[in-house]
Amino acid sequence: MWLTCSSIGRKLVMAVTGACLVLFVTFHVLMNAVALAWPTAYNQVCEFLGANWYALVASVGLAALFIVHIIYAVWLTIQNRKARGTDRYAVTSRPPQVEWSSKNMLVLGIVILAFLVVHLIQFWAKMQWQELRHAELAVLPQLSGAPVPPAMGTLFLQMAFSQPWTAIVYIVGFIALWFHMNHGFWSMFHTAGWDNGIWIERLKKIGCWWTTVVVALFIAQAIVFTVLSHEKYYEKDIALQEQYAAYWDEHAEKANTEFRSEMVNIQTQFNDMQNQAYEKQQQGTFTQDDAAAMEAKQQELDRQGLEAMKKYVAAAEPMIKYAKQQAPDMHPMNLIETEHMVESCKNQIKAVENQLNGTPQMMAR
C-alpha cells in the first residue's frame, strides 16, 4: 500500500497523525485551563467525559494515533539513517533551531513518551481505567483515608502535584513537547509540499506561536497546580468540598432508598401474615399449627430484617466516614439522616440478635 510502501506515504501518515495529536494536545490544555479558572466545573467535565461511550471512542482513537505515530517515527528514522549512512547530519538550509529539533525528533519523542507513561499512571489509570473496570470503592486510589472516585478530578490534581517530582517531570516533558511540536509543524507543511514562498514562513510562525502558547499554558498549569496542591487547596476549598460531599450524599441517598424499600417489603409480609391470622381467629379456624407457622415466619422475617440492616450499615457507614474526611466543613441533609438511620439500625441489630438468640420477638413492626 502507498501509505506504508512509499517514503512520502509514510511521511504523510506522520503528518496527519501528528496534526491530530496537535489538536488533541490543544484541546487538552484548554480542558486543564478549566481546572485553573473554575475547579468545580473541571470536576463536572471529568464526570461528563468519564468512561462514557464517546470518551471511550476518543480514547481508543487517540491511542491508535499515538501508536501509529510512534511506529512510523521509528520506521522513518531507521529508513533515513540507512539511506544517509554516515552522512545523516548533512548541512541544509533550515534554521539552526529547526535543524537541532529535526536531528533529535526521535529522542524528543522518547522523552515525551516517558512523560506520557508517568502521566497516564498518575491520571488515566486512576480515573478512566477504574471506571472502565467498575472498581469497587475499596480499591480506588486513597487520599487522606478516603477513596477518590474518578469524577473528583481536582483530588487527582492534588495527589499528583503534591509530589515534589511531578512538576519537574512535567516541565521536562513540556520542553521536549515544545521542540517536538515546533519541528512537527514545520515538517508537516514541508511534507504537504509547502516548502517555499511566503506562506511557509507564515505557517512556521503560526506553528511556533501555537506551540509556544500551548506549552506555556501547560507550564503555567503545572506551576499553579503544584502551588495549590501544596496549600491543600483542592482539599480545603469550600465549593469543592460541597461537590465531594454531594457525591457521598447521593450515594447515601441511594443506600437509604434501597434499605427503605427492603424494609417496606418485610413489613408488608408481616402485615399479610397478621391479617391472615386475624381472619382465621375471627372464623374460629386458627389452630396450634397456624400459631407455630406464624412464629416460624416471624423469625424468618426477623432474620431478613437483620440481614437488610447489616447490609445497609455496611453500605452507608463508609459514606458518612468518607464525606467527613473529604468534606469536613459540610453537613449535607441525606448524610445527617443516614447517620441517624445507621445509629438506630446498629441498636436494632443488637436488640434483634439478642431476641433471636433468646425469646423470638418481632422486629419488623
The least CB distance from residue 166 to ligand HEM, in Å, is 9
CB of 12 or CB of 58, closer to ligand HEM:
58
CB of 177 or CB of 319, closer to ligand HEM:
177
Q: Per rule CB under 6 A, is residue 18 in the interface with ligand HEM?
A: no
CB of 111 or CB of 335, closer to ligand HEM:
111
φ, ψ for residue 284, nearest 5 deg: 75, 25
The residue from 124, 199, 209, 278 that contacts ligand HEM (CB under 6 A) is: 124
The least CB distance from residue 308 to ligand HEM, in Å, is 36
Please compute Rg for the chain using Cα positions: 31
Number of residues that bind ligand HEM (CB under 6 A): 22
The residues, ordered by sequence, that sit 6+ positions from 250 with a Cβ below 8 Å of its Cβ are: 334
Q: Per rule CB under 6 A, is residue 312 in the interface with ligand HEM?
A: no
Q: Which of residues 165-224 bind ligand HEM (CB under 6 A)?
A: 170, 177, 218, 221-222
CA-based max dimension of the chain: 112
Which residue type sits at 84? R
CB of 51 or CB of 349, closer to ligand HEM:
51
The least CB distance from residue 59 to ligand HEM, in Å, is 4
If you ran DSSP here, which 8-state letter would residue 142 be given?
E
Q: In whole angstroms, how far apart are CA 205 and each of 68, 211, 262, 307, 324?
A: 27, 10, 67, 70, 53
Which residue type sits at 348? Q
CA atoms of 120 and 131, how far apart (whole Å): 15
φ, ψ for residue 177, nearest 5 deg: -65, -35
With 0-12 CB in 10 A as exposed, 13-18 as middle and 19+ as buried, what is 364?
buried
| Helix, coil or strand: residue 93 | coil
Cell numbers linked to 152? 473528583
Q: Per rule CB under 6 A, is residue 319 in the interface with ligand HEM?
A: no
The residue from 123, 186, 248, 322 that contacts ligand HEM (CB under 6 A) is: 123
CB of 218 or CB of 322, closer to ligand HEM:
218
CB of 178 or CB of 259, closer to ligand HEM:
178
CB of 127 or CB of 327, closer to ligand HEM:
127
* Dihedral sign for Cα atoms in the order 33, 39, 43, 48: negative
Q: In whole angstroms, how far apart are CA 190 and each of 66, 102, 194, 203?
A: 21, 12, 5, 10
Cross-strand partners of 143: 146
Write out the H or E segment, with its range, that includes residue 143.
Answer: strand 142-143
The residue from 25, 34, 273, 293 that contacts ligand HEM (CB under 6 A) is: 25
The least CB distance from residue 242 to ligand HEM, in Å, is 21
Q: Per rule CB under 6 A, is residue 318 in the interface with ligand HEM?
A: no
Cell numbers linked to 18? 501528528
Cell numbers linked to 229? 496542591
Q: Which of residues 30-59 bind ligand HEM (CB under 6 A)?
A: 32, 46, 49, 58-59
Q: To which residue does cell 420477638 refer? A: 361
In the shown chain, the binding pattern of residues 244 to 283 toward ligand HEM, with x for contact by CB under 6 A and - for none, equals ----------------------------------------
CB of 49 or CB of 108, closer to ligand HEM:
49
Listed ranges 124-132, 197-205, 304-312, 331-339: which one lies at the site for ligand HEM (CB under 6 A): 124-132
Q: How many CB atoms lie within 10 A of CB 88?
A: 12
Q: Which of residues 58-97 bind ligand HEM (CB under 6 A)?
A: 58-59, 62
CB of 191 or CB of 211, closer to ligand HEM:
211
Provide the binding-site residues for ligand HEM, judged by CB under 6 A.
Answer: 25, 28, 32, 46, 49, 58-59, 62, 112, 116, 119, 123-124, 127-128, 153, 156, 170, 177, 218, 221-222
